[in-house]
Amino acid sequence: MEVGAALGLDFNPESIEVDAGDSVLLEDNVGEKEEEEEEEEGDVENPVVEMSCQFMGTEFPFDGGVQGKLELQMEPSEPYVGMEFDSLESARKFYFDYAEHVGFRVRNNRFRTSRRDDSIIMRRFVCCKEGFYLKNEKRKNDGKERRKRASIREGCKAMLEVVRKDKDRWAVTKLIIEHNHAFVVNIRASKPKKKRAPLAFPVEMSSLFGEGFGAEERQNAVWGGGEAFSLLQYFRKMQTKNPAFFYSIEVDETNKLKNVFWANAKARMAYSYFGDVVALDTTYKKNKLMMPFVLFTGVNRHLQPVVFGCSVLLDETETSYIWLFETFLVAMSGRLPVSFVTDHCKVLAAAVMKVFHGTHHRFCKWRILSKCKEKLPDICSTQAARASLKGDMKKCIDETDTVQDFESLWEAFLLKYNLTENEWIQSLYEVRQQWATVYLKDKFFAEMSPTQRSESMNKFFQRNFETKTSLFEFVAKFDQAIAGQYEKEVQADFANMITRPVLKTSSLLEKQASETYTKTIFAIFQEELVQALGYSVEKFQDGSVCRYHVALNAEGARMTYDVTFDSSETRARCSCQKFEFSGIICRHILRAFQAVGLCKLPEGLILKRWTQNAKSGTVLYENCANIQGNAQNIFTQRCNDLFLDVLKHAAEGATSLVTYKAAKDALQKAFDEVVSAKKSLWSTKPELVKG
């Protein structure tokens, strides 16, 4: 992660403004930020990145060889100060390619990170002969004899340093072209072969991360070369930093790693507020080269995507999905989501049914539409034909108000494209209650519009997470992405605090909504309120429970909506069921409110998860699952539940010295009460103390 600055050919590195939240690495005090390598003659491995080129869909390895491979004669341009790249990896590949062409090898050197999100903001690449090898005196005192090795370092000062200019741009800020040694004509041919000793894992580690397990194509790519062991070390490190970091691994019958799941503290806290609707993102299935990375996602009060948990799932069986879902619930204190969105898959559906009892399961319409080209190749032979078919399918999915309308439109769709006998279409129709909106609109899915929910991180996955990406690089990039999500949420929270939306009417309902909802949600409410003015309302039932017909004042408008309003309990329902589906009051109910002169929105129609106070108050777990298992599982669930409460307590208490002292006092008081309750149990019912 790197420092951003405005760069050009006349760029002055001394003019960089370093953010107070950045961790600056001083030239004379590298510490553990500098990547030192113990190099020796004949044992140096050049980390040159293998390149490839694609020609008419065929990939040719580009490693400088001529036998059986395509040799490309491409000469890299000379680097210069101010040169820009679209990513750190692009800069790295460029310099390594340039070094290979000139005749020297490169290694990673020092870097600088941001204290805000631990991302790299500066990276330096140096010649492999940079500096001088310094013997590590500590290694001499262990009594072991070592043969003398000559160092290849000659004090060469050649290097290239890049700094992050903004989110997607990197620029060269320091550059030394001159070397103090001769170049090698064929750097690849002269590259010494490094003899690698086998990894000395403990016995249980060797059995856990050995070779030959599961779906080989993906597993070898993900867990090969000790990657699994590195991932486990990373998890342990994260849990040491924050005990609320959760991870779990599943092994096969030979004790070799099969599937993993993890969720950091912020993700678990986000679930406690916005975990009512969860989507399982399995984007990797669209591309065999993508890492088998599974995400549990949702949306926050600003309609921004939020991640609840992550998994690398190598074994895509029903048993593995059941393990994943049960593990997810353990991490989330047993709290079941109200609704769960997944890919259309029989294995997934079976696992969801067995674990998420009472949760509304829906198939992702975006994923269904994306399969049209694969399942209906004859019809989707051209882009125009594919767009036409998808458009008609979208109408069936989203633009029908009644079941009769859906059935009629679906029948017309089948006849138009001659799909009455198509097996895939038939299989979709059999589970239409799980993807057609008309069957689901009485259930909450946090949706604002038919196109609002899409797999928002799909492009990010395709761009960054492929099987050729090392696991370390994968985790680092994902951490950066998640840190960026948190930063956007903080920015949106700040915008809500310092600005107020512009009102379009004199309605007291609009004023109340502007002070209650977040700006994003208020904009949706405001549009509904303005559109309500174009509707007519007619009361057809009077009393404590009134009923109204609401219809659009437009020529040709046929649809009439029934609104029921209970004045005693200040509750309202509409036949469109927008509030049940999205949690936003529809224009038809608002029109009825205008007709009766209501000046305040009923509390029952204000969904807390969309309000500015969504994160205030007690974290509730009304929808908790009874996780079955032994005493250890129950103990783990209770610990996870308490961890989330403590995290919220800590987040609020750390805001100032006054709140910090209040939080400490409250924790001490709570601890004393827990000890007192435990002593009371010991004296009355000792068998329940560990139950």
Condensed to tens digits (0 to 9), the pLDDT of residues 455-472 reads 455 555 555 555 556 666
Domain termination residue (choose one: 309, 338, 364): 364
* DSSP at 610: G
CA-CA-CA-CA dihedral for 149, 151, 152, 156, to nearest 10:
180
Nearest alpha-carbon partner for 458 in 320, 350, 297, 608: 297
Supply the pLDDT for residue 601. Answer: 93
Same domain, yes or no, for 272 and 148? no
In a domain, 485, yes or no: no
Mean pLDDT rounded to a whole number for the chain: 75
| 323 and 264 part of one domain | yes
Q: Are residues 566 and 642 in the same domain?
A: no
DSSP lists the bridge partners of residue 247 as: 262
Q: Which amino acid is at 108?
A: N
Burial of 574 (0-12, 13-18, 19+ CB in 10 A): buried
- Contact between 594 and 529 under an 8 Å Cβ cutoff? The reply is no
Phi, psi of 98 (to 5 degrees): -60, -45
Nearest to 583 by CA among 457, 451, 446: 446
Residues 248, 340, single domain; the answer is yes
Phi then psi dihedrals of residue 572, to 5 deg: -145, 150
As a whole number, mean pLDDT of residues 245-251 equals: 87
d(Cα 645, Cα 653) in Å, to the nearest integer?
12
* 537 neighbors 527 (Cβ within 8 angstroms): no
Residue 281 has what pLDDT? 84
Task: Indicate whether 522 and 661 sit together in one domain.
Answer: no
Both tokens of residue 569?
């309990």
Average the pLDDT over 478-496 and give the result: 82
> Does residue 495 lie in a domain region?
no
Per-residue burial over 253-285, b if 16 or more Cβ lie within 10 Å, else e, is eeebbbbbbbbbbbbbbbbbbbbbbbbbbbbbe
Q: Are residues 95 and 57 in the same domain?
A: yes
The residue with tokens 């059986």 is 68
User: If you average pLDDT over residues 499-519, what whole number do you get?
Assistant: 94
What digits encode the pLDDT tens for the residues 102-155? 888 898 888 887 776 667 888 999 998 888 766 554 444 545 555 555 667 888
What's the pLDDT at 583? Answer: 93
- In the listed set 318, 348, 364, which residue is the last one of a domain according to the structure? 364
SS3 126: strand
Interaxial angle between packed helices 383-398 and 403-417, expressed in degrees from 0 to 180 and rounded to the nearest 10: 160
Q: Which residues 6+ apart lie within 8 Å of 622 measured at CB?
A: none
Question: Does residue 420 form part of some domain?
Answer: yes
Angle of helix 587-596 relative to helix 519-532, nearest 10 degrees?
60
The verdict on residue 2 lying in a domain is no
Q: What pLDDT digit, counting tens, does each position of 33-58 carry?
A: 444 333 333 333 333 333 333 333 33
Question: For the chain, how many structural domains are there in total?
Answer: 5
Do 312 and 399 have their domain in common?
no
How far apart CA 109 and CA 81 sit, in angstroms, is 18
* End-of-domain residue from the set 364, 392, 415: 364
In 3D, which of 304, 308, 577, 337 has the Cα closest to residue 452?
304
From the CB of residue 604, how many other CB atoms can be counted at a distance below 10 Å?
Answer: 12
How far apart CA 324 and CA 319 sit, in angstroms, is: 9
Q: Has residue 258 been placed in a domain? A: yes
Backbone phi, psi, residue 631, to 5°: -60, -35
In a domain, 450, yes or no: no
Residues 296 and 240 in one domain: yes
Same domain for 146 and 28, yes or no, is yes
Q: What is the 3-class SS of 571-596, one letter each residue?
A: EEEECCCHHHHHCCCCHHHHHHHHHH
Average pLDDT over residues 167-178: 88
235 and 111 fall within a common domain? no
Q: Which amino acid is at 243?
A: P
Best-predicted range by mean pLDDT among 366-375, 610-619, 666-675?
366-375
Partnered with residue 175 across adjacent β-strands are 160
pTM equals 0.62
| Segment 54-80 mean pLDDT | 45
Task: Tell me the average pLDDT across 154-177.
Answer: 88
Domain of residue 659: give its range.
631-688
Q: What is the pLDDT of residue 317?
A: 87
Task: For residue 680, tell me if it sits in a domain.
Answer: yes
Better-predicted residue by pLDDT, 49 or 412: 412
Band of the pLDDT at 611, cuts 50, 70, 90? Answer: very high
211 and 360 part of one domain: yes
Query: Would residue 188 count as lying in a domain?
Result: no
292 and 352: one domain? Answer: yes
